[in-house]
Amino acid sequence: MGLIIDEEEERDDVVLVPPTNFSMVEDGIYRSGFPQPSNFPFLETLNLKSVICLCTEPYPQENLEFLQSHGVQLFKFGIEGTKEQNIPRETITEALKILIDVRNHPVLIHCRRGKHRTGCLVGCLRKLQNWCISSVFEEYKHFAGTKTRSTDLSFLEAYNVLCLKRCLYSIIYQYHGYGSKKRRLLYKQESVLKPQIKSI
């Protein structure tokens, strides 16, 4: 009995530290910088099904083991993190397909700092949700702070969500609310894949 009490007290003593720049985008969607081992207890509370990584670097083994032990699927999209590189529209579109599929929720989006690449993906989601461009910019700048990149803003302004809607002809539209509430797209195939790592 004493052992059980000690284990409960130990769990209560765990300090939950979120990853840098962590925030909820909306119900079931989160964003942050690259999670560190010290963030793992916090991530456990999110009951994640998926992680969308926008970095080019190999995923750390410790992080892989954490995801695999919790049945979390990793979707990896390699996007260069330098301001000299333009954000690839096709890669963002592929990441958006994963992001808006509710079978992958709860989902965490992250890059290195949770500012630029993550901000561009979230910004494109907002455009899909019919946000006005000024609000998209405001949210991007909130997380980018003094590191706002004009190339990212130009990308967000030019990104055409119609290109996503056209290529998703095999998707069923399911609306739970409208706009920034819970507008969702769901693939016709209802089978859920076993947790695995996908690099795209």
CATH number at residue 95: 3.90.190.10
Give the pLDDT of residue 148. Answer: 82
The answer to whether residue 113 sits within a structural domain is yes
The C-alpha atoms of residue 115 and residue 109 are separated, in whole angstroms, by 11
Amino acid at 71: G
Q: Which of 111, 124, 132, 167 is catalytic?
A: 111
The kind and range of the H/E element at 175 are strand 171-176
pTM of the model: 0.76
Residue 165: give the domain boundaries.
19-183
Residue with tokens 């119609």: 162
User: Does 111 qualify as catalytic in the annotation?
Assistant: yes
The answer to whether residue 77 sits within a structural domain is yes
**Is the pLDDT assigned to residue 186 strictly greater than 70?**
no
The answer to whether residue 198 sits within a structural domain is no
Of 108-117, 124-133, 185-194, minimum mean pLDDT range: 185-194
The answer to whether residue 105 sits within a structural domain is yes
User: Which residues does 18 contact at the CB level (< 8 Å), separation at least 6?
Assistant: 32, 39, 42
Give the pLDDT of residue 12. Answer: 60
- Mean pLDDT score across all residues of the chain: 81
Q: What is the pLDDT of residues 92-101, one digit of tens each?
A: 989 999 998 8
